[in-house]
């Protein structure tokens, strides 16, 4: 699923690793110099998810938390990414 948050796009998915469901989040961030290609930040979570919906929700929540933690309001983008 794709979500917009601040000036970023979050792509949250679930995948299988053997019998385990894995949550994945990819954050597409705007570039600092207004080039079309910005940075990305990828996260992968191996937990005991009940189903893919729970995994996607978790990935989305963690991506939002990461952005909140790294956000620079003056630059309107994450720092330290």
Please compute the mean of the pLDDT values over residues 14-20 and round it to a whole number.
95
**What is the C-alpha to C-alpha distance for residues 58 and 47, in angstroms, rounded to an integer?**
10
Q: Whose structure tokens read 């994450």?
A: 78
pLDDT at residue 32, as a whole number: 62
Instruction: Report, as an integer, the average pLDDT of 7-23.
Output: 96
**pLDDT classification of 37: cutoffs 50, 70, 90:** low
pTM: 0.84
Q: How many domains does the chain have?
A: 1
Expressed as residue numbers, the domain containing 57 is 2-74
Q: Is position 27 within any domain?
A: yes
Rounded to an integer, the average pLDDT of 6-29 is 95
Q: Given this model, what pLDDT does residue 35 score?
A: 52
Rounded Cα distance between 64 and 62, Å, is: 5
CA dihedral 39, 43, 13, 2 (to 10 degrees): -30
Residue 57 CB neighbours (<10 A):
15
User: For residue 44, is it within any domain?
Assistant: yes
**Domain for residue 28, yes or no?**
yes
- 53 within a domain of the structure (yes/no): yes
Instruction: Compute the Cα dihedral for 60, 2, 8, 14 and give only its sign.
Output: positive
């Amino acid at each position: 699923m794709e979500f917009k948050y601040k000036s970023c796009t979050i792509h949250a998915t679930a995948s299988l690793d053997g019998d385990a469901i894995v949550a994945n989040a990819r954050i597409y961030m705007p570039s600092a110099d207004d080039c079309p290609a910005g940075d990305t930040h990828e996260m992968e979570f191996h937990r005991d998810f009940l189903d893919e919906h729970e995994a996607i929700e978790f990935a989305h929540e963690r991506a939002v938390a990461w952005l909140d933690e790294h956000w620079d309001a003056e630059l309107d983008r994450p720092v330290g990414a």
